[in-house]
Copies of this chain bind each other. A is one copy, B any other.
Amino acid sequence: MRDGLPEGLASLAGFQLSKCGWWLEQRLEEELEPLGIRVRHFLVLAMLSTSETLSQQEMADCLLLDPTLMVGLVDDLEARGLCERTRDPRDRRRYRVRATEDGRALHRRARTLADEVGAEVFGPLSDDELSTVVRAIGRVMEPFWAEQALHPRRKR
């Protein structure tokens, strides 16, 4: 990289956006290490923090992860007492995964770190710009999540 990004790359909005997402994730990964969790564990806790109970299948769809990966993820959290599995009485194949008080407390600490990373990365933006970007991305992703709810895809 002699003198900055080649213009052919810099002008690709998708490339810049992808790397921005990667940067945010890596920084958060670093910040979460002292808490003993990965970004994925944090995302599970984030879901559970506003959902009472969820099945592993539902969480896999939201995170775009293969359901087999949710097993180990929930295992990790349960082993540390951050969430608990109970069978769904109305469909005993499913678990009802719920965050414990410890899990909610850890989520709050992790969420603070995530917000700090966000403030760091988005530092160059004014409050107006930031809220425009955040709302814009949210609106852009609405059709994606709608489609995802109907025809779940996986990978990554």
Contacts and interface: CB of A to CB of B under 8 A. Distances in A.
B20 A24 contact: no
A20 B17 contact: yes
Given A9-B47, A133-B136, A20 B19 contact: no
The interface residues of chain A, by DSSP majority, are classed as helix
Given A8-B47, A118-B13, A141 B1 contact: no
A105 interface: no
Interface string A9-31: 11011111111111111101000
A82 B122 CA distance: 37
The complex is assembled from copies of this chain, and their number is 2
Interface string A26-52: 101000000000000001011111110
A122 B13 CA distance: 10
Given A13-B134, A133-B132, A139 B125 contact: yes
A69 interface: no
* 8 tightest A-B CB contacts, nearest first: A18-B21, A8-B50, A8-B46, A21-B21, A14-B24, A6-B47, A7-B50, A8-B49
